[in-house]
């Protein structure tokens, strides 16, 4: 067994070396700077785990005969699910403008009220001395009408500014949803998962409630992807993602972790129950024959493996993730298509 693991580790290192060489060649052949962003883009492209990215790069190469810095930057920006600098700048500028509008409206309203008060005081003083009180009353009525008009105008300006701020809040909510969602599956992404895990971990520690974490990986996905193509591979990832995200339980949080990996956080759920829930999903997927919808072509059967770790007193968010990953590795070693609990 030890010799088999050594051989597998050696083969894995050989695969890494081959991938490194391919990344370097791709960067050099297209004259791309070996920057972290370009390296990540080439890694994602050559690992074949992101069909959308591969299709975009293939189209760019077919159209222009190669890649350049502008094209890779545009592709990275399009695939980035976070807020761009331009978006942040626009939202900040809008917010500042709306606050200045409201401040100006309130300041103008205060000035109008002070002017109205001063005018009333002056007219009231003149009323006592006036030989024609009718004229003074007419003046007071006119001043009051003007103040009412100004107040109504200020109210309309405030209402209009509030509508603009409401639209901005919707933009922010949509941007936040985009920044925390995986564009392929619609599930929360790794950014959202990291935030949720920290929050769930703190809640479990504070309340003394159980917490379980699972990492799932589609079995033999690279072979499947190479055999049937990236587009079918994307559909497979979406199918597994929808199955894992389907349980109607607020205590279960499912996210795409990257590539063909998914993570689930089980709050207030005992370890045995978490294993049972996940194993039912695994069994349902493994029992189903996949077919291409528009052709009926059979794709065979698909499975995934999972590792589950439950919170213990020594854990941190990082350590429970590491233990779940180790359990996933054992599930793969033991034959795949199974759920394994961490020690």
Judged by DSSP in three states, 145 sits in helix
* CA 183 to chain CA mean position, Å: 8
Q: Phi and psi for 339 in degrees, rounded to 5?
A: -115, 125
Q: Length of the chain, please?
A: 343
Residue 261's nearest CA partner among 324, 340, 208, 316 is 324
Gyration radius from the chain CA atoms: 31
Residue 252's nearest CA partner among 216, 208, 301, 219 is 216
Question: Which contiguous run of DSSP H or E holds residue 317?
Answer: helix 317-333
Residue 241's nearest CA partner among 258, 220, 227 is 258
**336 touches 219 (CB < 8 A):** yes
Judged by DSSP in three states, 11 sits in helix
Question: What CA–CA distances, in Å, run from 14 to 8, 9, 17, 22, 40?
Answer: 10, 9, 5, 12, 20
260 is a catalytic site residue: yes
Residue 324, judged by CB atoms within 10 A of its CB (0-12, 13-18, 19+), counts as buried
**Which is the catalytic residue, given 33, 69, 100, 260?**
260
* CA 221 to chain CA mean position, Å: 24
Catalytic residues: 260
């Amino acid at each position: 067994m030890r010799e088999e693991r050594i051989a597998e580790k050696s083969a894995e290192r050989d695969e890494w070396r081959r991938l490194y060489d391919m990344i370097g060649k791709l960067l050099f052949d297209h004259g791309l700077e070996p920057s972290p962003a370009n390296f990540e883009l080439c890694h994602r492209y050559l690992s074949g785990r992101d069909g959308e990215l591969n299709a975009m790069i293939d189209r760019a190469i077919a159209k222009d005969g190669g890649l350049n810095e502008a094209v890779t930057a545009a592709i990275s920006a399009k695939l980035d699910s976070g807020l761009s600098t331009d978006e942040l700048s626009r939202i900040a500028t809008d917010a500042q403008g709306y606050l200045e509008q409201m401040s100006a409206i309130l300041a103008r309203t205060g000035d109008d009220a002070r002017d109205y008060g001063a005018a009333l005081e002056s007219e009231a003083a003149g009323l006592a001395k006036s030989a024609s009180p009718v004229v003074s009353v007419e003046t007071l009525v006119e001043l009051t009408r003007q103040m009412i008009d100004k107040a109504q105008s200020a109210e309309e300006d405030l209402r209009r500014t509030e509508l603009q701020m409401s639209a901005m809040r919707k933009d922010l909510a949509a941007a936040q949803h985009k920044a925390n969602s995986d564009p392929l599956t619609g599930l929360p992404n790794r950014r959202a998962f990291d935030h949720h895990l920290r929050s769930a971990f703190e809640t479990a520690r504070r309340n003394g409630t159980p917490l379980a974490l699972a990492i799932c990986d589609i079995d033999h996905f690279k072979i499947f992807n190479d055999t049937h193509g990236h587009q079918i591979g994307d559909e497979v990832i979406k199918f597994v993602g929808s199955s894992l995200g389907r349980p109607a339980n607020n205590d279960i949080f499912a996210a795409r972790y990257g590539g063909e990996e998914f993570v689930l956080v089980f709050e207030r759920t005992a370890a045995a129950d978490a294993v049972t829930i996940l194993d039912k999903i695994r069994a349902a997927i493994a029992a189903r024959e996949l077919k291409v919808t528009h052709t009926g072509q059979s794709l065979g059967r698909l499975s995934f493996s999972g590792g589950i770790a439950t919170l213990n007193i020594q854990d941190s968010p990082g350590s429970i993730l590491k233990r779940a990953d180790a359990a996933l590795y054992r599930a793969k070693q033991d034959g795949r298509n199974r759920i394994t609990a961490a020690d």
